[in-house]
């Protein structure tokens, strides 16, 4: 269940209450006349099944409640109520499958902003991966993949395409490209420093690397894995199964490919630089393609669910 706290101008309170009462999957409606001070107005509280939440929030925005009042949404970890259970049964579909588009846009907006923290994380991840590719250490590669924050901008691009939000798309693309560019530039300098203190060497990069050689040798399996990971990552963001996102992060070699390209560039190895760059671009393309198609499928499915409920 989701809990909604609404601040409504007095002249809109009646419309808001009727909307909530007419929405399948709502419960525990409370109206507090004149309780709000900033902005001034009435406070309306209610619970709604997650699978009915997106439709209700969208209709509240059509009443301009987000402009003249407030819409606050939070998840309910525990609700002991027969009425809440009945509301969940009445709502279409399963709560774990429901998509809250407003919440998704807000989450991807935050994750796709080019901030100092974002650049720091992706740079540190790339430097860790650089150590992994030179030492041919799979554990360091996995650690770097888990640290990398690049799925946020990728999800932002997918969401922007589906929701036709060009500003979100540009922000996400800028964060993705600028983040990788900064991380790779710093990693080139890091690699040269490590070489100067005899911790990295060109011979290590050129040697056979059975654990990490795949990073600069892209093939169709790389694209297939990226597509599968993109679909899984998007589902983890849109559903209640967010724990799967860590598994997605360590299944696609975006950060390690960027690290290998940076180290190889520092040593002037154009073959590995180009191969790693191909791997990086192939993985990014696969994730965006799969994420976009997954969101489109979810949007179509829930539109049909809502139409079916409206007819019934």
The verdict on 129 and 80 lying in the same domain is no
| Band (258; pLDDT cuts 50, 70, 90) | very high
Tell me what pLDDT residue 307 has.
Answer: 67
Which of 112, 126, 148, 146 is CA-nearest to residue 247?
146
Q: Is the pLDDT of residue 40 over 80?
A: yes
3-state secondary structure of 113: coil
pLDDT digits (tens, 9 = 90+) for 195-214: 999 999 999 998 888 888 88
Dist CA 136 CA 163 (whole Å): 42
For Cα atoms 22, 74, 236, give the angle at the middle one, nearest 5 degrees. 100
Half-sphere exposure of 201 (CA within 13 A, CB side): 5
Determine the average pLDDT of the residues in 237-242: 66
Q: Is the pLDDT of residue 181 over 60?
A: yes
Number of domains in the chain: 2
pLDDT digits (tens, 9 = 90+) for 125-168: 999 999 999 999 989 998 898 888 888 899 889 989 998 888 88
The verdict on 136 and 262 lying in the same domain is yes
75 sits in which H/E element: strand 70-75
Residue 308 lies in a domain: no
The verdict on 22 and 120 lying in the same domain is no
Q: What percent of the chain has pLDDT over 90?
A: 50
Dist CA 98 CA 175 (whole Å): 28
Better pLDDT: 79 or 116: 116
The verdict on 252 and 107 lying in the same domain is yes
Better pLDDT: 184 or 306: 184
The residue among 98, 132, 148 that closes a domain is 98
The verdict on 294 and 168 lying in the same domain is yes
Q: What percent of the chain has pLDDT over 70?
A: 92
Q: Which residues pair with 21 in a beta bridge?
A: none
The verdict on 234 and 209 lying in the same domain is yes
Residue 311 lies in a domain: no
The verdict on 173 and 199 lying in the same domain is yes
Residue 312 lies in a domain: no
The verdict on 151 and 296 lying in the same domain is yes
Q: Is the pLDDT of residue 310 over 90?
A: no
The verdict on 149 and 273 lying in the same domain is yes
Tell me what pLDDT residue 304 has.
Answer: 74
The verdict on 168 and 61 lying in the same domain is no
| Band (94; pLDDT cuts 50, 70, 90) | low
Query: Quick check: 172 and 145 in contact, CB under 8 A?
Result: no
Whether the link from the prior residue into 39 is cis, omega within 30° of 0, is: yes
Which structural domain range is residue 248 located in?
103-301
The verdict on 203 and 76 lying in the same domain is no
Query: Quick check: 135 and 266 in contact, CB under 8 A?
Result: no
The verdict on 184 and 111 lying in the same domain is yes
Q: Is the pLDDT of residue 252 over 70?
A: yes
Residue 190 lies in a domain: yes
Tell me what pLDDT residue 250 has.
Answer: 61
Which of 310, 298, 311 is CA-nearest to residue 98?
298
68: domain CATH number is 3.30.70
Tell the burial category of 213 from Cβ atoms under 10 Å away from its Cβ (0-12, 13-18, 19+).
Answer: middle
């Amino acid at each position: 269940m989701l809990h909604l706290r609404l601040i409504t101008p007095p002249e809109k309170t009646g419309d808001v209450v009727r909307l909530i009462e007419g929405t399948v999957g709502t419960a525990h409606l409370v109206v507090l006349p004149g309780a709000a001070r900033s902005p001034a107005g009435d406070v309306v509280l209610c619970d709604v099944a997650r699978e009915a939440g997106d439709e209700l929030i969208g209709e509240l925005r059509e009443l301009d409640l987000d402009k003249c009042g407030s819409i606050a949404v939070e998840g309910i970890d525990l609700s002991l109520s027969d009425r809440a259970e009945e509301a969940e049964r009445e709502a279409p579909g399963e709560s774990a499958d429901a998509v809250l588009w407003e919440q998704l846009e807000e989450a991807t907006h935050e994750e796709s902003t080019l901030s100092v923290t974002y650049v720091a994380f992706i740079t540190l991840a790339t430097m860790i991966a650089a150590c992994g590719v030179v030492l041919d250490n799979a554990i360091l590669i996995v650690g770097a993949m888990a640290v990398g924050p690049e799925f946020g901008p990728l999800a932002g691009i997918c969401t922007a395409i589906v929701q036709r939000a060009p500003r979100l798309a540009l922000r996400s693309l800028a964060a993705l490209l600028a983040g990788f560019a900064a991380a790779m530039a710093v990693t080139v300098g890091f690699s040269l420093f490590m070489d100067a203190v005899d911790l990295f060497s060109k011979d290590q990069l050129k040697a056979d690397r059975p654990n990490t050689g795949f990073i600069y040798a892209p093939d169709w399996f790389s694209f297939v894995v990226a597509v599968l990971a993109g679909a899984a990552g998007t589902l983890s963001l849109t559903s209640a199964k967010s724990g799967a996102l860590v598994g997605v992060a360590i299944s696609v070699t975006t950060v390690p490919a960027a690290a290998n390209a940076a180290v190889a560039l520092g040593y002037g190895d154009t073959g590995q630089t180009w191969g790693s760059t191909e791997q990086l671009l192939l993985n990014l393309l696969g994730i965006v393609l799969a994420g976009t198609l997954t969101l489109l499928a979810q949007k179509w499915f829930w539109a049909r669910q809502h139409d079916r409920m409206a007819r019934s």
